[in-house]
Structure 1
């Protein structure tokens, strides 16, 4: 097993766990998605995945000795509790159960950030600036169920992830309409974070605020998926304005992340919401608001912004985490 391969990598969320295999070629393959609800925990899901790999490889199969799992939760100590899943486990116990020499656990946006240096043009779609460059510092934001934020910076020892909880930073308005939106939301919440409006859990709150500021009846509460569908279908002015406000606010937030991290190599957008918006996103004010930072407009104008189109990118980030242990 050259370089301790094969390696096992995983991207584990509240609903699904995606597993991949890294053999001597270095690429992630043998990718399978398993439903978390079908398994008592990660050990059982891994064993089911390894059966699939063994069936595919036959006599060439060797058990993995190193693994890296990207997890949709905050990590602190040995015990792991996934935010939106029944899976609860001990890192040490899982490593022993799987017979691994090394088990790395990463926050999902830490892994996604580590994937950025190796993403190529077939894995992203650029919005308004030069192609991203794998140099210096890169950042990623991801409106999904919540709002993830991460970064990665180039050092003499390799790429180092910069995990954090930037989605909970205070959201800032840029015009009178956005100020009115945030004022409405502050009537319900003491603190209006970026995640409060720029996420799957936040879109319904943003929709309610847009309706109130426009003087329109909010009607029955809508889930994020319904808001997106109605906005894209047309004919629902409140949903359309909600998505327009979402894209503009997200652009301003992305610009803040770029300034905070000094992400001159690019800011990437992950998560599940923006890809569903299609051309409406690329016709939005996102890039305009990304650059609208007064005296620092010239600093931001050359910074690329790109939508990640590869839903398996975090697996390659997990693989890089193992690879850098080898060097």
Structure 2
């Protein structure tokens, strides 16, 4: 089998779930999509083998692109919120490309349709640098930069910056978390699925009330409960400040997009929250931020779309990687390098 023989395997590997799909023709959206629980498999190669056997008819892909929730170094990966780590070569496929999961999400942005998006305020998204961030098992951040003829994704670990606080209540939350053992409270500690749980417990202590231990799903499902509602309110406000910081850092005049598994469940609550006001609340750069669109990605598996777009570009020979993030068993490196996405 040669590299880029169809079908291709695409995956979005998070700290909790591993999502897989097959691409049967360039430009097609992934099919045979299945979600596997990470806890059911000791390693990523085991999860891949289970997917191919149980959900893809035992096919052997010619190429794969895996989007992983953690930093990628060369052909090696180590998930931030999972014990899975290893090398692309462990999968034994002719061509395997590794991406950070939010890097793949960034690549998907030009491919998303209007039905995949929901406005959270501001003007229509414009051409220019775009940012994507989102709370899930962790807090991911990436950028997408326009280049001649295409786009270049930029990955990072922005979820680990110091948590943004604006008022006394938020300062009290951070005080409680530090007293509980978190010497350095970062954004991901509160702006993620597990972070909702942390916020709920911290607010109960700040307010001096007893509260049951709830999951993040329970919290967003119980917005008639005053403490749950306050938790989501604080969450959305702090997320707005964080998103504004990301926009300023990347110069994201082309729009800030929000993904992850938490926000699509509370779209209307985010819209009516302080998210947008906190996004633009900067004494020096309010006008700059007010001109930036904030948009929620509501597509079901956008990172798989990004991974598929990445492979389609490489199959066309327009951007063979030379940065070590690929396990490549066929001679494709002679083609000229062009870092761009169509």
TM-score, structure 2 normalization: 0.82
Displacement after TM superposition at 1:25 (Å):
5.0
Residue 70 of structure 2 is matched in structure 1 by 73
Paired residues for 1:243-258 under 5 Å: 243-258=232-247
Matched, 1:123 2:116: yes
From 165, 168, 180, the equivalent of 1:173 is 165
Matched, 1:305 2:302: no
Distance 2:3 2:201 in 1: 56
1:225-249 CA distance string (max 9 Å, x none)? 222222x2x1x22221111111111
Distance 2:52 2:218 in 1: 37
Residue 23 of structure 1 is matched in structure 2 by 24
Displacement after TM superposition at 1:142 (Å):
1.0
Paired residues for 1:198-277 under 5 Å: 198-214=191-207, 216-230=208-222, 232=223, 234=224, 236-277=225-266
Q: Is the 8 A contact 1:2 1:24 kept in 2?
A: no
Residue 282 of structure 1 is matched in structure 2 by 271
Residue 32 of structure 1 is matched in structure 2 by 33
From 293, 297, 303, the equivalent of 1:314 is 303
Distance 1:302 1:23 in 2: 40
- Of Structure 1 and Structure 2, the greater helix share is in 1
1:66-116 CA distance string (max 9 Å, x none)? 22111123222444444555645431231xx23x1x210111111111111
Structure 1 residues 3 and 217, CA gap change in structure 2 (3 angstroms): closer
Mean Cα displacement is larger for which, 273-282 or 144-153?
A: 273-282
Distance 2:34 2:279 in 1: 34
Residue 155 of structure 1 is matched in structure 2 by 147
Distance 1:34 1:244 in 2: 30
Distance 1:67 1:288 in 2: 41
Distance 1:4 1:44 in 2: 22
Structure 1 residues 90 and 177, CA gap change in structure 2 (3 angstroms): closer
1:172-229 CA distance string (max 9 Å, x none)? 2222322232233232321111111111222222123322333x32334332222222
Q: Is the 8 A contact 2:3 2:63 kept in 1?
A: no
Structure 1 residues 47 and 199, CA gap change in structure 2 (3 angstroms): closer
Distance 1:308 1:49 in 2: 26
Displacement after TM superposition at 1:128 (Å):
1.4
Matched, 1:144 2:136: yes
The alignment partner of 1:321 has SS state of: helix
Distance 1:224 1:106 in 2: 27
Displacement after TM superposition at 1:2 (Å):
12
Q: Is the 8 A contact 1:30 1:53 kept in 2?
A: no
Residue 193 of structure 1 is matched in structure 2 by 186
Q: Is the 8 A contact 2:4 2:63 kept in 1?
A: no
Distance 1:297 1:88 in 2: 42
Structure 1 residues 77 and 251, CA gap change in structure 2 (3 angstroms): same
Q: Is the 8 A contact 1:128 1:305 kept in 2?
A: yes
Aligned length: 312
